[in-house]
Amino acid sequence: MSDKLLDGYKRFKEGYFAQNRDKIREMAQHQKPSYVLITCCDARLEPSLIFDTEPGELFVIRNVANLVPPYETGGSYHGTSAALEFAVTVLEVPEILVLGHSRCGGIRSLVTEQDKLQPDSFIARWMSIVAPVAQLADPDKLDDIKTFNRCEQAAVGFSLRNLMTYPWIAERVETGTLKLNGWHYNIYTGALKHIHDQDTISIIVEEDAQN
């Protein structure tokens, strides 16, 4: 199966790499991304394709359901927090975007499978970051995709709120050197919505199909 990836690499090396050798060599000396993009590890999402960006523009942090845990110094492993700290305090990236998406498996597990997951499950513990989101789902409408869209969008709002618990993020936001934004991308329709907070949502790009 890896042959497909190796074939793709050869096309990249002979195509894009060869055609952009000077740009890539310059980029290899330092990175100066314009955005931190926190998004889901869902294989259907490809940020550089969705936003038509070049290598080096996005500092991408991926995890299950594009969550930002609240700031805390206990525990042992803080992958998302460490990536945020590096991007903000070392690279000084000026904008953080939280990108949620439709048909998110993490949100669906929180809403419909919470009782089925083992208490020590990595997924259950991770999704507990946005546990209140499950309360937004109408138990009589769990077959309605809009139910999950609402929960996915609310989860983006929670992540925006959690970002402000990091002192080095809050300080920069308050001084105007860092911006925070939340978006929800609908895989099925192509719609993009701006999540201002947990309750306020506006449409950036309209849907071109239902669901």
For the cut 70, the answer to whether the pLDDT of residue 164 exceeds it is yes
For domain 33-205, the CATH superfamily is: Carbonic anhydrase (3.40.1050.10)
Do 107 and 156 touch, CB atoms closer than 8 A?
no
pLDDT at 75: 76
- CA 116-122-124 angle, to 5 degrees, is 40
For the cut 80, the answer to whether the pLDDT of residue 175 exceeds it is yes
- The amino acid present at 43, given as its one-letter code, is A
Do 40 and 66 touch, CB atoms closer than 8 A?
yes
DSSP label of 129: G
Do 127 and 109 touch, CB atoms closer than 8 A?
yes
pLDDT at 54: 93
Phi and psi (nearest 5°) for 75?
75, -170
pLDDT at 83: 98
- Which sequence spans correspond to the domains of the chain? 1-30, 33-205
For the cut 80, the answer to whether the pLDDT of residue 203 exceeds it is no
The answer to whether the predicted template modeling score (pTM) of the entire model surpasses 0.85 is yes
